[in-house]
Amino acid sequence: MKNRFLTILTLALAITFTSCKDKAAEVETTDAEVAAEVTEVSTKYLVDTEASTIMWKGFKPTGSHTGTIKVESGVFTLNGDAVESGSFIIDMASLNVTDLPVDSEDHAKLSGHLKSPDFFDVEAFPASAFEVTGFTNENGKAMLSGNLKMKDTENNVTIPVTVTENNGSVTITSETFTIDRSKWNVKYGSKSFFDNLGDKFINDEMELQLTITANKA
């Protein structure tokens, strides 16, 4: 009996450790900052919306859901190989669920709920935005800072990225990172706002991964 208990305990600890290990790190979130300015020596790029996307993942005690969001438009400038300034608009109406069959009732139900006032309130806030405020190199890793605006709230985040140039095209690819949705007033099922949820809560932590491709203007 004792051996059986130890085996179960060891397995539980292993699952917990794996879950924590696999989860992307939460980025630093601070107050919105002044946008970065363009200089005369920078090169302008226009975002290719067909080649750009945002992937998301949300969590709850019983599992997770994944999806995508499209980039509506955008522009940024490079100074050498550094992102100097820029912004892009996120089309919240394009929010899509990818882990459920498109023609299923569950897909329609979840997609509709995420776009409702419970979550991102797409009718009232059809667009989100990211505006560059800084670009640094920390321990050999490029870090892009910007004001992320969702709904009626704007916070500054700093995310690790890779910048790749190829024949007049530039792609900014972020590592998968985590934000706390409650800091943008996305309240549904959040323990940050409600204390009587029991095991019916939805995690505040959301994973995001950005791929933004742009062509020289």
50 Rama sector, left if φ>0, alpha if ψ -120 to 50, beta otherwise: alpha
Residue spans of the domains in the chain: they are: 25-216
* Max CA distance (Å), the chain: 74
pTM of the model: 0.86
Q: What's the pLDDT at 3?
A: 47
Q: What's the pLDDT at 22?
A: 62
Q: Which of 156, 32, 179 is nearest to 190 (CA)?
A: 179
Structure tokens at 144: 């892009």
Q: Could you give the 3-state DSSP secondary structure of residue 22?
A: helix
Q: What's the pLDDT at 23?
A: 67
Q: Could you give the 3-state DSSP secondary structure of residue 175?
A: coil
72 contacts 91 by C-beta, under 8 angstroms: yes
Structure tokens at 121: 């309130």
Q: Which CATH superfamily is domain 25-216 in?
A: Lipid/polyisoprenoid-binding, YceI-like (2.40.128.110)
Q: Which of 138, 158, 165, 130 is nearest to 43 (CA)?
A: 165
Ordered per-residue pLDDT tens for the chain, 217 residues = 444 433 333 344 343 333 444 668 898 899 999 999 999 889 999 999 999 999 999 999 989 999 999 999 999 999 988 999 999 999 999 999 999 999 999 999 999 999 999 999 999 999 999 999 999 998 889 999 999 999 999 999 999 999 999 999 999 999 999 999 999 999 999 999 998 888 889 999 999 999 999 999 9
Distances in Å between the Cα of 79 and the Cα atoms of 36, 66, 171, 200 are: 12, 35, 15, 48
Q: What's the pLDDT at 200?
A: 85
16 contacts 169 by C-beta, under 8 angstroms: no
Structure tokens at 33: 């900052």
Under DSSP, the state recorded for 100 is: S
Alpha carbon distance 108, 98 (integer Å): 11
**Residue 37: Cβ within 10 Å count:** 9
